Amino acid sequence: MLMIISGILAQSCTKDEEDIFDQSAAERMTAALDEYKTVLTGATNGWVMEYYPEEEQAIGGYTFLCSFSASGEVSVASEINTENYEAGETKRSLYKLIADAGPVLSFDTYNEIFHYFAEPSGSDVDGYAGDYEFVFTEVSADSVIMKGKKYGNRIVMTPLPEGQDWNEYLQEIVAIDEQVVFGTFKLLINDQEAAVVEKSDRTFTLEYTEGEEVKTMTAGFIYTGTGLKFYEPLEFGGVVMNRFEWDGDQSTFICTDTGVNARIEVDLPENYRYYGDYIGQWTFYYNNLSKPVTITQEVRNKTYRVSGLSFDFLLTYDPAAGSVTIFAQDVGTYNGYTVSLCPWDPVAGYFTWSPTVGLVSEWNGDPEDFEIIFKNNGVWGTYVADGFLFWMFTSSGASAGRYNGGESRFPFITMTKQQ
């Protein structure tokens, strides 16, 4: 009798399932893929994609613009610079909608712009741990929400407004990124300091005190054309914050969420100098000698070019400290040799071409008589980088002696800016 009842129940369940699903699973998947393709191709000016590489959003988010055609082509632009494409430039490739662990959007042919975060780098097979296949979770004409198939970050796409120029949209984001060069901020809620904030890439690490315990929390964000938006709304002390607008005059992010009085304002160290402060004409002093040199912009908010010595060389700007550093670097060629700038300990008589050893600037604190002294950055063990040499190397990297086509030794460096 039990076997008969079980058989009847099994038949009943089968009939119920047939009543619920008029189509097979394969037919339902095909219908979903067709529907999603209609949605993707229906955004006539394309989609704004909020893209997060790295697990736990470790480097924050980046914006891509994507326009999908019914023939399977996708046009992509981004705020990032790749080897062959500047921010705002467009690259076309192919995409597919496939059945996998649910409906999946796959950027299945190589696109230098879109695959920037997924491309392997050196020995790192994961590169920046970016996905190029995405499982759909919510789909409508107003927004498409997906999850990275491999790394699991949420990816949100919204239609770009009609008439909005792609390049202009992305350049607004680039402009915000270039302005926010600072590394240290503080979070104020209702005008009271709540946390110290350190910025790295596109993440904030908040340090705060709870009772007698010091705690930290990290939040990833993406730049918008006016400020930033968090991956997940930032909840701190019972206050929920998501969108902030950048006030360049005050170097402050101001929360624009309704009913929230919060801001993240820059907290500059003592004797901080901005990137532009170093550009201009200088007198370069070394060992009781001097030369006029010129500092010009190389990569905004990152590096400068120094001209006037035997070879041009680069200064590296530290936006967190407001200082500049001279690191080891190749600067030119002479008689078939590569000439390198090498940090030097004039007292001990040793030099190095280690890329981390350098001379970091220290400002005298007088804006009217702007002088900087270059001092050892403290990473060369017992040796003290108090100057640098121009030294020659063979193509195999072997030492070939001090550059002898001009001045090559520069100990105990200071620089004074000409007014």
Q: Choose the weakest-confidence range: 67-81, 122-136, 214-228, 230-244.
A: 122-136
Q: How far is CA 290 from CA 308, 412, 413, in A?
A: 11, 11, 10
pLDDT digits (tens, 9 = 90+) for 20-36: 456 788 888 999 999 99
Average pLDDT score over the chain: 92
The CATH architecture annotation of domain 180-266 reads Beta Barrel (2.40)
Q: How far apart are CA 107 and CA 114, in angstroms?
A: 8
Q: How far is CA 55 from CA 59, 142, 374, 397, 410, in A?
A: 9, 27, 39, 38, 46
Higher pLDDT, 381 or 120: 381
Long-range contacts of 248-252 (CB under 8 A, 24+ apart): 248/179, 251/182
Q: Mean pLDDT over residues 369-379, rounded?
A: 96
Q: How far apart are CA 195 and CA 208, in angstroms?
A: 5
Contacts of 210 (CB under 8 A, 6+ apart): none
- Whose tokens are 């912009």? That residue is 297
At residue 5, the pLDDT reads 29
Fold: same for 24-173 and 180-266: yes
Q: Which fold has domain 24-173?
A: Lipocalin (2.40.128)
At residue 160, the pLDDT reads 98
User: Within 13 A of 14's CA, how many CA atoms are on the CB side?
Assistant: 6
The overall pTM is greater than 0.85: no
Share of the chain above pLDDT 90, in %: 83
Q: How far is CA 349 from CA 134, 312, 344, 387, in A?
A: 57, 24, 7, 11
Locate 211 and state its tokens.
Answer: 């009772």
C-alpha closest to that of 412 among 365, 357, 344 = 344
Long-range contacts of 68-73 (CB under 8 A, 24+ apart): 68/37, 68/40, 68/41, 68/43, 68/95, 69/41, 70/37, 70/41, 72/96
- Per-residue pLDDT band for 123 (boundaries 50, 70, 90) equals low
- Per-residue pLDDT band for 237 (boundaries 50, 70, 90) equals confident
Q: Where are the domains of the chain?
A: 24-173, 180-266, 275-417
**Environment class of residue 292 by beta-carbon count within 10 Å: exposed (0-12), middle (13-18) or buried (19+)?**
exposed
pLDDT digits (tens, 9 = 90+) for 314-358: 999 998 789 999 999 999 999 999 999 999 999 999 999 999 999
Q: With contact defined as beta carbons under 8 Å apart, do 373 and 361 qualify?
A: yes
- Per-residue pLDDT band for 9 (boundaries 50, 70, 90) equals very low
Q: How far apart are CA 115 and CA 124, in angstroms?
A: 15
At residue 300, the pLDDT reads 83
At residue 124, the pLDDT reads 61
Locate 350 and state its tokens.
Answer: 């040793």
Q: How far apart are CA 410 and CA 403, in angstroms?
A: 12
Is the pLDDT score of 122 beyond 80?
no
Share of the chain above pLDDT 70, in %: 94
C-alpha closest to that of 252 among 329, 171, 359, 179 = 179
Is the pLDDT score of 127 beyond 70?
yes
φ, ψ of residue 239 in degrees (nearest 5):
-105, 130
Q: Mean pLDDT over residues 29-55, rounded?
A: 96
Q: How far apart are the first and last CA of the chain?
A: 104
**Environment class of residue 71 by beta-carbon count within 10 Å: exposed (0-12), middle (13-18) or buried (19+)?**
exposed
Is the pLDDT score of 14 beyond 80?
no
At residue 269, the pLDDT reads 83
3-state SS class at 101: coil
Q: Mean pLDDT over residues 182-198, rounded?
A: 95
